[in-house]
Amino acid sequence: MKTWKLVSGILSIVFFLVVSLQSCAAGAVNAIEENEEDTSAGGGMILGILMLAAGIVSIATRKSGKGGNIATCIIFALAALAGYANLGTYGDLVVWATWCAICALFALIAVIKSPKPAAET
């Protein structure tokens, strides 16, 4: 799981750059079209920021216990929720939200499979 946490963290940081650029482009299109009802660009920025945070936490806590996995799971789940809740003209948002949901699932599996601390005698 340490390798997965490192790889998902690095990919999430790289994907943050892509999501941010796409969100800015979607926001510019919404502004040009005067589409005030679409919130997908803002949702994409929120997803991107949370994905960046989760990637950093994933890398920083890859050798730690359950606490880092729980934090990573929660942040990725919030990012996925933000993405799915704001679907609109920004069509790639579903891809990034699904990536975050998959990472949250793997972090949850890491929490469940992590060994329990030995009881003191």
Q: Which of 15-24, 81-90, 112-121 has the highest mean pLDDT?
A: 15-24
| pLDDT greater than 90 at residue 119 | no
* Model confidence pLDDT, tens digit, residues 26-35: 888 878 888 7
Q: The pTM is what? A: 0.87
Domain boundaries of the chain, sorted by first residue: 2-112
Please give the angle made by the CA atoms of 35, 38 and 40, to the nearest 5 degrees.
135
How far is it, in rounded angstroms, from Cα 95 to Cα 84? 10
How far is it, in rounded angstroms, from Cα 81 to Cα 88? 14
